[in-house]
Chain A
Amino acid sequence: MPRAIRGVLVQCDPSIKSIISKIDNEEHAFIVEELDDQTLVIKENMMTTLKMKLDEILKETQNNDESSSDE
């Protein structure tokens, strides 16, 4: 009998996916199923938390604050 699991399918770059797995490693609260290196299924209610955490990490790693606004 096939099973249906509710979740959010996330499609992203392998690099982002590895960050997500890293976040999940801490408490295993996010990932329902890792499908391949670009897709995984996340628990629906944890999506916003995950996005916030991801944004935080990305902000630390990439320091490309703009200089484009100088006229």
Chain B
Amino acid sequence: MSVSTLASFEYLERLPGTTFRRLYQQPSTALAIFRRMLPHLAKTFVMALLYMSKPFPLTDLDLWVNPNSKRERDKALQLLSRLYIITVTPPSRDDPQTITLTQKFGESLRLALTGGGEHNSFGVPSNDSVAEGVDLAFLDEYAREQWEGILHYVVNSVGQSMGGGGQGPTDAVKHLLEAGQLVTTGRHSGKGITQAGFSFLLQEVNAQVWTLLLLWIENAEKMELDSVEVLSFLFMLGSLELGRAYSKDTLTDSQRQMLPYLVDFGLVYIPRSSSGHFFPTRLATTLTSDASALRSVSAGFDAASSAGGAKGFIIIETNYRLYAYTDSPLQIAVLSLFTRFKARFPNMVSGRVTRKSVGNAISHGITSDQIITYLSTHAHPQLVKNASIHGGPVLPPTVVDQIRLWQIENERMKATPGFLFKDFENGKEYEGCVKYADEIGVLIWKNDFKKMFFVTRVEQLRDYIKSKKLK
């Protein structure tokens, strides 16, 4: 599953049940969560339960699942209940455990799948005369410009200005990037990209959009926007049709307040002349789809506009020389984070990955793995072809190893914050605690002889020790 799914998961899972119940009143939300967030097994469960009128015994559900896949089953069920999609009755002596879809979710999903109802949840197409010149190409171009502007700002926050054109993102967006610690201001050399910022750059576009939107939602709570309305609007956007105008009239107040920000992100376009409707762009309509093919913005748009557009552009040789066939200032700026460029031509740049340039990137908090991932994701088709012919890796192993070594060079020690437990009264007490710590996955280091161990988190373990003491 992609990164974005994980990121949005984490956010969603923090929401209370009441929020979910309100979210699920919108068929578009139920559908979006269903198609974007659930693994296949969970989807199967939901589909099976969808038209079931009575609670379904859990033991019967077990019959559907291969006994070897119990883990997957548990995972799917856990996820479903965390997202408040199913309710499982607590185990009791008299009745067997049963499982049901939560009422709201079931209703909404049925509505979404079979149609019907007056919910306007999938947007209302505007009947006004559509503004001229707004076609797919225009929307793509608009979204690309906005989004690249944001990415460019993130990259350029590193010292040197690449003199990239455009006015850059609006202040609101800049502020957001700082709040999300994708870029930092002050401290070392004025502004700087952070590790989070670099991982942000490496994500596929869809994940980037989600990251930024989630940041925005977190900040929006301070602006006293209702997060339920914000979320359902986003899920609705994901179900709109590209290239169509939608009416603003059915939106709620907070959703209308949201529009300007979405314009900043390039998710929607509002023609200046007529403010009665808005156009979702490709960034918005792919929000909840599985179209994860969009790698980088430009590659994604290339692929979308001209089938099979060039994806990779980087060639790296065993002697650390790097050639990048690109004229995008954004990509060049990203590369220059860890490459020393020597020459720049109209359609390509060439340079070299050196110990110093990589060290520089690492001092910004970018990890070697991130660099390697970036290089391999954007490797030139020629490299990929060669690799598949010889059955070897895409990037020259020497270079990959060296980049890793350069990082290790600067990190002589591995530091993990946490808690050291010591002074156990007897071996039995120690062993019990260690075993428990290992089971909940917080144990990092132990020494049976000295009866000491080190854990990353203490809360659960403290409760465990307390409960032991009581007995």
Interface residues of A (CB under 8 A from B): 1-13, 16, 20, 32-33, 35-36, 39, 41-42, 44, 47, 54, 58, 66, 68-69, 71
- The listed residue (B413, B420, B425, B462) touching A12 by CB distance below 8 A is B413
In the complex, what distance in Å separates the CA atom of A42 from the CA atom of B444?
A: 15
What distance in Å separates the Cβ of A59 from its nearest Cβ neighbour in chain B?
11
Residues of B contacting A58 in the complex (Cβ-Cβ under 8 angstroms)? 412
Given A39-B445, A66-B354: A3 and B422 within 8 A (CB)?
yes
Nearest CB in chain B to that of A67: its residue: B355
Nearest CB in chain B to that of A42: its residue: B415
Residues of A contacting B433 in the complex (Cβ-Cβ under 8 angstroms)? 2
Q: Does B458 contact A (CB under 8 A)?
A: yes
In the complex, what distance in Å separates the CA atom of A16 from the CA atom of B433?
A: 31
Q: Evaluate contact between B462 and A4: CB separation under 8 angstroms.
A: yes
Interface residues of B (CB under 8 A from A): 320, 340, 342, 352, 354-356, 412-425, 429-430, 433, 444-445, 447, 450, 452, 454, 458, 461-462, 465
Q: Evaluate contact between A6 and B419: CB separation under 8 angstroms.
A: yes
Nearest CB in chain A to that of B416: its residue: A9
In the complex, what distance in Å separates the CA atom of A2 from the CA atom of B415?
A: 23
Q: Evaluate contact between B422 and A5: CB separation under 8 angstroms.
A: yes
Q: Given contacts A12-B413, A20-B413, A41-B454, could you give 5 more A-B pairs where the C-beta distance is less than 8 Å? A: A2-B465, A8-B416, A42-B415, A68-B354, A71-B352
Q: Evaluate contact between A5 and B420: CB separation under 8 angstroms.
A: yes
Residues of A contacting B320 in the complex (Cβ-Cβ under 8 angstroms)? 68
Q: Evaluate contact between A35 and B465: CB separation under 8 angstroms.
A: no
- The listed residue (B355, B414, B452) touching A35 by CB distance below 8 A is B452
Residues of B contacting A39 in the complex (Cβ-Cβ under 8 angstroms)? 445
Q: Evaluate contact between A35 and B423: CB separation under 8 angstroms.
A: no
Q: Evaluate contact between B420 and A1: CB separation under 8 angstroms.
A: no
Residues of B contacting A9 in the complex (Cβ-Cβ under 8 angstroms)? 415-418, 420, 444-445, 454
Q: Evaluate contact between B458 and A4: CB separation under 8 angstroms.
A: yes
In the complex, what distance in Å separates the CA atom of A58 from the CA atom of B411?
A: 11
Q: Evaluate contact between A1 and B425: CB separation under 8 angstroms.
A: yes
Residues of A contacting B340 in the complex (Cβ-Cβ under 8 angstroms)? 69
Residues of B contacting A20 in the complex (Cβ-Cβ under 8 angstroms)? 413
- The listed residue (A6, A12, A47, A69) touching B354 by CB distance below 8 A is A69
Q: Evaluate contact between A4 and B419: CB separation under 8 angstroms.
A: yes
Nearest CB in chain A to that of B469: its residue: A1
Q: Evaluate contact between B355 and A10: CB separation under 8 angstroms.
A: no
What distance in Å separates the Cβ of B453 from its nearest Cβ neighbour in chain A?
10
Q: Can you report 15 residue pairs joining A to B where beta carbons are below 8 Å apart?
A: A1-B423, A2-B422, A4-B458, A8-B416, A9-B420, A10-B413, A10-B414, A10-B416, A11-B414, A12-B413, A16-B412, A33-B452, A35-B445, A41-B420, A69-B340
In the complex, what distance in Å separates the CA atom of A9 from the CA atom of B423?
A: 17
What 5 pairs across the A-B complex have the smallest Cβ distances?
Answer: A12-B413, A11-B414, A5-B420, A4-B419, A16-B412
In the complex, what distance in Å separates the CA atom of A1 from the CA atom of B414?
A: 29
In the complex, what distance in Å separates the CA atom of A41 from the CA atom of B421?
A: 11
In the complex, what distance in Å separates the CA atom of A32 from the CA atom of B420?
A: 10
Residues of A contacting B430 in the complex (Cβ-Cβ under 8 angstroms)? 2
Max count, chain A CB within 10 A of own CB: residue among B415, B429, B462, B465: B415
Residues of A contacting B454 in the complex (Cβ-Cβ under 8 angstroms)? 9, 41
- The listed residue (B415, B421, B462) touching A10 by CB distance below 8 A is B415
In the complex, what distance in Å separates the CA atom of A61 from the CA atom of B370?
A: 29
Nearest CB in chain A to that of B417: its residue: A8
